[in-house]
Amino acid sequence: MSIKDELAAELRDAMRTGDRRRREVVREIETLISRKRSEPGFDGRVDDDLYREIMGSFAKKMDKAASEYEGLGERGVEMAAKLRWEVGYLSRWLPTKKTEEETRRIVRAAIAELAVDDPKMAGRVVGHLMKSMGDDLDARLVNQVVREELDTG
């Protein structure tokens, strides 16, 4: 079953059961897909890859926004929880990223491979890793781990 079909079934079920959160996030993804389709130069393909691209972009934005809401303290707790739920809900359709431990191991190998020992060269390591393994890695985590490894190395 395609992601589009799964989301249509999710929307029907959410409407039937009164699940407002699920209904809203599915409708938002469908809205983003519609916007993408109306962009100049769109090639007309609405497939699982497009859905993953849109969901991934949306999840990344919501994750960042949730972090910002958490920074507001008590005032942002409710909204941050809502956004974290949306990211978690969509994660089942997104490719999984490497864990922190796996990322740290990959970063150490890249640092050794590139023979980098200066913290000012962190961008080179991050760029190398994101270019070669970007889909499997969380860019924010890679950046953090590279900087930690070069600072302590």
The CATH number of the domain holding residue 76 is: 1.10.1510
φ, ψ dihedrals at 112, nearest 5°: -65, -45
The reply to whether 79 and 112 lie within a common domain is no
The reply to whether 51 and 119 lie within a common domain is no
pLDDT digits (tens, 9 = 90+) for 64-95: 999 999 999 899 999 999 999 999 999 999 88
Q: Please check the confidence at residue 153 and state whether its pLDDT lies above 70.
A: no
Cβ contact 49:58 at 8 Å: no
Q: Between these two residues, 112 and 135, which has the higher pLDDT value? A: 112
**104 is in which domain, residue-wise?**
100-152
Which pTM does this prediction carry? 0.69
The reply to whether 83 and 34 lie within a common domain is yes
Q: Report the CATH number at residue 108.
A: 1.10.10
pLDDT digits (tens, 9 = 90+) for 8-62: 999 999 999 999 999 999 999 999 999 999 999 888 889 999 999 999 999 989 9
Q: Which of 78, 93, 108 is the last residue of a domain?
A: 93
Q: Distance between CA 38 and CA 144 in Å, rounded?
A: 37
The reply to whether 80 and 147 lie within a common domain is no
